[in-house]
C-alpha cells in the first residue's frame, strides 16, 4: 500500500494530467490519499472496471463525488444502488435511446448551425463560450420538449451554471423551471423525458415532487459540462493535429470513431467516487468497509495494459473500450445523446470553419468536477450564414 496526498481535482486541471497519473500508476495502481478526508485511488484499467461493475461492494448511494456535492439529498440514478437504481434508470432508457436521438438529429443540427451563424462572418470565435458551452443546455431543452423561448432560457441558465456551479440564484431559477414543467406534465403527460420522470415508480409508489426534482436536476447536470468539455477538448485536439483534421475533412464518416478516441484521451468526467460496503482487496491492497474509493477513469483510459501507446491520439483505434462513459450498471445514460452532439459539432465545424486556428496562449482550462476548456479562442476564414 502506498500513502499520498494525491488530489484528483488538482491533477485533472493540468494539461499533463495523463502523464502525472501514469507516474502515480507506475508507483502503485491502488493508493490511499489523505486529501478530501481520505480515499483510495484506483489508477489501473482492471481495478477501475472491477469497482464499477461490483456495485454491491462499491456503493454509489452515499454519493459519487469526492468531496461530496452541496445538494442536500442523494441524486438517483447515479447516487443509488439496487433496487432503486434500476427503478429510476430502467424507465428512462427508452427516452434516451438511439431511436429518440435519430428523431432529434435534424433539430440538434439546426441548433449547432444557428450558433455557428452567430460568429461565422466575423472570422473569430470562442469555440467554448460561443458553441460547446451553450449547446448542451439547448439540446437538453429539446429532449425535454420545451418551447423555443424556454430553450433560450435554459441555454443561458446552464451556460452560467457551468461557470458558476454554486450560484444559488441560478440554481433556484432552474428548479423553478423544472417545477413548472412538473405541474404542466402532471396535467398533460407526453412522450418526453419530464413525463417519463414523473411517471417513475419507486417501490410501487409514484415519485414525489421532491424526488422528481432531484432526478430531473441530476439528469440535466450530468449532460452539461461533460458534453461541453468533451467538445472543447475535441476541437483543441483537432487544432493541434493537422493529419487528424485532414482525415476527418476528407472523410466525415470517420467522425464517430474519432469521437471515441477524443473521449478516451480527454475523459471529461475524470473520476467518480464509491463507498465500500465490506472489506475487500483491490490490486493486492486491503480496503476496509465504509471507506471512500475513487475510480480514476482518466488514468484507466491511459493504462498501457489496455491501450497500446495510450498517449497517441489514434482516430482509427480499434477496439477502444474506454471508460469515458464509465462502465457497469451506471454506464452513462446519456451516451447516445452525447455521441450525437459531438458528431454534429465536429461535422458542422469542420464543414464551415475547416481552417480554424486555436490561439493556444488564450486557452483557459475549465475548473470543476469535469475537465476541459472554459475558453477556446479561434480564428478562421470568414464564411456565410446558413440561412
Binding-site ranges for ligand HEM (CB under 6 A): 52, 64, 77-78, 89, 140, 219, 222-223, 226-227, 230, 268-269, 272, 297, 324-326, 330, 332-334, 337-338
Toward ligand HEM, which CB reaches closer, 98 or 382? 98
* Residue closest to ligand HEM when measured from CB atoms: 334
Least CB distance to ligand HEM at residue 338 (A):
4
The helix/strand/coil state of 376 is coil
Toward ligand HEM, which CB reaches closer, 120 or 171? 171
CB 354 within 8 A of CB 244: no
Toward ligand HEM, which CB reaches closer, 154 or 230? 230
User: 5, 12, 7, 6: which is closest to 368 by C-alpha?
Assistant: 12
What lies within 8 Å, CB to CB, of 293 at 6+ separation is 39, 40, 41, 42, 51, 58, 273, 274, 275, 276, 282, 287
Toward ligand HEM, which CB reaches closer, 26 or 175? 175
292 CA to centre of own chain:
22
- Torsion, Cα of 236, 241, 242, 246 (10° steps): -80
- Residue 293's Cβ-side half-sphere holds a number of Cα atoms within 13 Å equal to 35
386 CA to centre of own chain:
29
Least CB distance to ligand HEM at residue 89 (A):
4
Least CB distance to ligand HEM at residue 327 (A):
8
CA 209/CA 180 separation, integer angstroms:
11
Toward ligand HEM, which CB reaches closer, 158 or 226? 226
Least CB distance to ligand HEM at residue 231 (A):
8
Least CB distance to ligand HEM at residue 88 (A):
8
242 CA to centre of own chain:
26
Least CB distance to ligand HEM at residue 333 (A):
4
CA 292/CA 149 separation, integer angstroms:
43
Toward ligand HEM, which CB reaches closer, 120 or 269? 269
**Cell numbers that stand for 182 in this block:** 412538473
Least CB distance to ligand HEM at residue 383 (A):
27
Specify burial of residue 298 (Cβ count, 10 A radius: 0-12, 13-18, 19+).
buried
Toward ligand HEM, which CB reaches closer, 64 or 127? 64
Least CB distance to ligand HEM at residue 336 (A):
9
User: 57, 94, 45, 64: which is closest to 330 by C-alpha?
Assistant: 64
Toward ligand HEM, which CB reaches closer, 143 or 280? 143
Toward ligand HEM, which CB reaches closer, 61 or 354? 61
Order of all β-strands in the sheet with 271-276: 2-4, 30-33, 39-42, 292-296, 271-276, 58-59
Least CB distance to ligand HEM at residue 121 (A):
29
Amino acid at each position: 500500500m502506498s500513502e499520498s496526498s494525491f488530489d484528483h481535482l488538482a491533477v485533472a486541471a493540468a494539461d499533463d494530467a495523463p502523464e502525472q497519473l501514469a507516474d502515480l500508476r507506475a508507483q502503485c495502481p491502488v493508493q490511499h490519499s489523505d486529501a478530501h478526508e481520505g480515499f483510495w485511488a484506483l489508477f489501473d484499467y482492471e481495478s477501475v472496471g472491477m469497482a464499477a461493475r461490483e456495485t454491491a461492494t462499491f456503493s454509489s448511494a452515499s454519493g459519487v463525488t469526492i468531496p461530496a456535492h452541496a445538494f442536500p439529498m442523494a441524486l438517483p440514478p447515479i447516487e443509488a444502488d439496487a433496487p432503486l437504481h434500476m427503478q429510476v434508470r430502467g424507465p428512462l432508457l427508452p427516452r434516451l435511446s438511439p431511436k429518440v436521438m435519430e428523431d432529434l438529429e435534424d433539430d440538434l443540427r439546426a441548433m449547432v448551425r444557428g450558433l455557428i451563424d452567430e460568429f461565422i462572418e466575423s472570422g473569430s470565435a470562442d469555440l467554448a463560450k460561443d458553441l460547446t458551452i451553450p449547446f448542451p443546455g439547448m439540446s437538453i431543452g429539446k429532449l425535454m420538449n420545451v418551447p423555443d423561448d424556454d430553450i433560450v432560457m435554459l441555454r443561458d441558465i446552464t451556460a452560467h451554471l457551468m461557470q458558476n456551479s454554486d450560484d444559488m440564484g441560478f440554481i433556484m431559477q432552474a428548479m423553478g423551471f423544472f417545477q413548472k414543467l412538473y405541474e404542466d406534465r402532471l396535467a398533460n403527460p407526453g412522450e418526453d423525458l419530464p413525463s417519463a420522470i414523473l411517471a417513475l415508480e419507486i417501490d410501487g409508489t409514484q415519485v414525489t415532487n421532491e424526488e422528481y426534482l432531484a432526478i430531473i436536476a441530476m439528469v440535466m447536470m450530468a449532460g452539461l459540462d461533460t458534453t461541453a468539455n468533451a467538445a472543447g477538448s475535441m476541437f483543441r485536439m483537432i487544432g493541434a493535429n493537422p493529419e487528424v483534421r485532414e482525415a476527418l475533412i476528407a472523410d466525415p464518416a470517420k467522425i464517430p470513431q474519432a469521437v471515441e478516441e477524443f473521449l478516451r484521451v480527454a475523459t471529461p468526467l475524470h473520476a467518480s467516487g464509491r463507498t465500500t460496503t465490506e472489506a475487500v482487496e483491490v490490486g493486492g491492497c486491503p480496503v476496509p468497509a465504509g471507506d471512500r474509493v475513487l475510480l480514476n477513469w482518466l488514468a484507466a483510459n491511459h493504462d498501457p495494459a489496455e491501450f497500446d501507446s495510450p498517449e497517441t491520439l489514434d482516430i482509427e483505434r480499434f477496439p477502444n473500450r474506454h471508460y469515458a462513459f464509465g462502465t457497469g450498471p451506471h454506464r452513462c445514460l446519456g451516451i447516445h445523446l452525447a455521441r450525437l452532439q459531438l458528431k454534429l459539432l465536429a461535422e458542422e465545424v469542420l464543414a464551415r470553419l475547416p481552417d480554424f486556428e486555436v490561439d493556444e496562449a488564450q486557452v483557459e482550462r475549465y475548473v470543476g468536477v469535469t475537465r476541459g476548456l472554459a475558453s477556446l479562442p479561434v480564428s478562421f476564414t470568414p464564411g456565410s450564414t446558413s440561412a
